[in-house]
Amino acid sequence: MKTIQSDNYPIYFEDSIAELEKFVKAGNYSRSFILTDEHTSIDCLPLIQAQFAGHENFDIIEVNSGEESKTIDFCIGIWKMLIDFEADRKSLLINLGGGVITDMGGFAASTFKRGIDFVHVPTTLLSQVDASVGGKTGIDMDNIKNIIGTFTQPKAVFIADEFLKTLPARQILSGTAEMLKHGLIKDAAYWAALKNSDLSIPSAELIYRSVEIKNEVVIEDPKENGIRKALNFGHTIGHAVETNSLINDKDPLTHGEAIALGMICEAYLSHKKTGLSSDHLTEIVTVINSLYPKYNLAAANYETLCAIMLKDKKNQNGKINCTLLTSIGQCSLDNICTDAELCESLAWYAAL
Amino acid sequence: MKTIQSDNYPIYFEDSIAELEKFVKAGNYSRSFILTDEHTSIDCLPLIQAQFAGHENFDIIEVNSGEESKTIDFCIGIWKMLIDFEADRKSLLINLGGGVITDMGGFAASTFKRGIDFVHVPTTLLSQVDASVGGKTGIDMDNIKNIIGTFTQPKAVFIADEFLKTLPARQILSGTAEMLKHGLIKDAAYWAALKNSDLSIPSAELIYRSVEIKNEVVIEDPKENGIRKALNFGHTIGHAVETNSLINDKDPLTHGEAIALGMICEAYLSHKKTGLSSDHLTEIVTVINSLYPKYNLAAANYETLCAIMLKDKKNQNGKINCTLLTSIGQCSLDNICTDAELCESLAWYAAL
């Protein structure tokens, strides 16, 4: 597997931890910081430290794991640690963790002293195939995901499958949803390959192809004015369900579980509005439902979900804008959906 | 006076409020917000509203004036107002005020939904000749100025001398210091023109030339890797004195008063280190001292000032880096100054 070249930065897939060591040494940084959470500091940090074997002195900044930590308060904590450790403009921040770490660490670095270098070492499948590529940084506020952030590219991304071995099955499946999405929006053959694979631990080749698809899209449209919206398939409804679940459920949905649900609903809307065939709709629903547990939507108020969708930063002028499918492997951007249509799709899911 | 073209945005000098109206109408924004403080909402906002004469519905976001408001807490307040008002990605933020408003409003806009459009309507001389041009946004934290921020260009800047009429003399002088700096670092003829002018209300032509000089520098080096450092003349020491004064003085120095002091100290260092002649040093000190009151530095601990300088985002590897002069109108970048040299220059100022 070759290194993928993204928007002025490389994404490494082979000997990635050794590549990280080379990168840090070549960068001649005045200081290097590693942002971790309580899981990655135990499960992942030792692999980095073993590689460097004491040759590099890292300062560790640890935050709590979980979406509920992706807030301005934790971000202020990171900034203040950087100040206390006397980080300067030639410092490097290494984000070691899942999407919360890479999104928030990227935001903290992109705004500290008007921007210091950062790299991502994504340790979950979800962050490997999604958050670590594309230059979106962000934090949540008032229960709106990534409402505050920047478009800033990392200097490099290091994808190492060693880290996936420590992940619980549910976390793996959270990433699989984004891989399925990549097939659905852009590559029918890849969708077919995924469908016929054991997805309990996706192969390195499948992960590589997923990153390749995402990278192709974001390079073409870094600031989401056009084709990048393809990546929002399943996310208009999925994000709202995820937000609602985070607020109300004792054991909230993972991102992937919410997106899986969102993809079913939006596949239904695709069938109604953009010509997705009923065979393709059935195939999508069957594959997704075989992987993800059914979620009890009854608890959620559909009106509340629509109100959350309206606050999504992708929507403008009070209209809700969905990316839908025309067939498996092809998508259609900018489909305005009414509250009634969105509610209908939710009810259809609930009745499955 | 012609419109100055900066890095992809225009800076208007004539009929600027009318130009603002044209800009807003042409931009087809979904919503327009005006960020003000308790002064500009009374002294300046009515001029904008009179121009639009009810044709545009603005939502007003008001924050407290003064450097002590340039914090993440006030910035969170702006973000939450934007959320509450349902600002979307096609919204516009108009920053109507001095440097606190333009810096903080620029930062809030550049990070809201990963960046919405913003324009500056600078209402102080200081913000007209300095903060509003160059694409630096920022807030302070832990008493470190602009430690958090981005490099993001406004979509336009509207400079109108109507606003200066409401300013107290001390606020005018705060801006004059930056104009003097522009002459000292880049244009001896401009310095001479300033020296021979009544600076109690600088003429529109003098303001125009100041913006022109600043713009030439920042266009050449938007991210401060080289020549932009010229603009730091007087600021290494000036910023530290300003920070210290904000913390300790009942009636703190203005930015310009602190920079005026910093320019005297750094002119002294220029004489010692980069060949500024004693005639030029004397001329600089005489002009500045005729405009600005003497500050009692005795109260400040020199060691404390050096510690503040070390935290300045421009310094790296624990070394303090100054822009100095070789003569009036020419500067020299990247001069490392020791604590002893910096203390000597402060003591020299104190003994003047």
Domains of chain B: 4-166 (3.40.50.1970), 169-351 (1.20.1090.10)
User: Length of chain A in residues, anyone?
Assistant: 352
Selecting among A70, A120, A228, A229, the annotated active-site residue is A228
Question: What is residue B152's DSSP assignment?
Answer: -
Q: Tell me what pLDDT residue A83 has.
A: 95
Is position A255 annotated as part of the catalytic site?
yes
Distances (CA, A) of A198 to A163, A168, A172, A173, A342: 18, 16, 12, 11, 32
Q: At what angle do helices A99-111 and B99-111 cross, to 10 degrees?
A: 150
Residues of B (160-199) whose Cβ lies below 8 Å from A: none
Residue B240 CA, chain-centre distance (Å), reads 15
Residue of B nearest to A90 (CA): B316
- The model's pLDDT over A49-99, given as tens digits with 9 standing for 90+, comes to 999 987 778 999 999 998 889 999 999 999 999 999 999 999 999 999 999
Provide the token pair at A295.
Answer: 């979620």
Contacts of A314 in chain B (CB under 8 A): 89
Q: Tell me what pLDDT residue B299 has.
A: 61
* DSSP states of A250-286: SSPPPHHHHHHHHHHHHHHHHHHHS---HHHHHHHHH
Q: Tell me what pLDDT residue A137 has.
A: 97
Instruction: Give me the residues paired with residue B61 across strands.
Output: B35
Question: What is residue A39's DSSP assignment?
Answer: T
- The model's pLDDT over A164-175, given as tens digits with 9 standing for 90+, comes to 988 999 999 999
Contacts of B30 in chain A (CB under 8 A): 316-317
Higher pLDDT, B145 or B282: B282
Provide the token pair at B299.
Answer: 């109260």
Q: Are A170 and A140 in contact (CB under 8 A)?
A: no
- The model's pLDDT over A255-309, given as tens digits with 9 standing for 90+, comes to 999 999 999 999 999 999 999 999 999 999 999 999 999 999 876 788 899 888 8
**Whole-angstrom distance, CA of residue B265 vs CA of residue B322:** 11
Instruction: Give me the residues paired with residue A319 across strands.
Output: A316
Q: Does the distance separating the beta carbons of B313 and A148 come in below 8 Å? A: no
Which residue has tokens 């600027």?
B16
Is position B242 annotated as part of the catalytic site?
no
* pLDDT band at B214; cut points 50, 70, 90: very high
**Whole-angstrom distance, CA of residue B202 vs CA of residue A299:** 66
Q: Which helix (H) or strand (E) holds A243?
A: helix A235-248
Residue of B nearest to A144 (CA): B83
**Whole-angstrom distance, CA of residue B55 vs CA of residue B32:** 12
Closest Cα to residue A97, out of A153, A156, A34, A18? A34
ipTM: 0.92
Q: Are A31 and A87 in contact (CB under 8 A)?
A: yes
Which residue has tokens 């108009």?
B94
Residue type, B292: Y
Pairing of strands B320-327, B10-12: unpaired
Closest Cα to residue A34, out of A87, A79, A95? A95
Is position B303 annotated as part of the catalytic site?
no
**Cβ of A291 under 8 Å from any chain B Cβ?**
no
Distances (CA, A) of B55 to A27, A282, B22, B48, B327: 54, 52, 12, 11, 53
Q: Tell me what pLDDT residue A298 has.
A: 73
**Whole-angstrom distance, CA of residue A104 vs CA of residue A146:** 9
Q: Are A320 and A308 in contact (CB under 8 A)?
A: no
Residue B352's SS3 state is coil
User: Length of chain B in residues, anyone?
Assistant: 352
**Cβ of B318 under 8 Å from any chain A Cβ?**
yes
**Whole-angstrom distance, CA of residue B194 vs CA of residue B99:** 22
- The model's pLDDT over A103-121, given as tens digits with 9 standing for 90+, comes to 999 999 999 999 999 999 9
Contacts of B46 (CB under 8 A, 6+ apart): none
**Looking at A149-153, B174-178, B295-299, which range is the least confident one?**
B295-299
Q: Quick one: CA torsion of A231, A237, A240, A245, rounded to 10 degrees?
A: -110
Q: Does the distance separating the beta carbons of B79 and A141 come in below 8 Å? A: yes
**Whole-angstrom distance, CA of residue A324 vs CA of residue A334:** 8
Q: Tell me what pLDDT residue B192 has.
A: 97
Closest Cα to residue A236, out of A302, A322, A119? A322
**Cβ of B315 under 8 Å from any chain A Cβ?**
yes
Q: At what angle do helices B204-220 and B188-195 cross, to 10 degrees?
A: 150
Q: Tell me what pLDDT residue B220 has.
A: 92
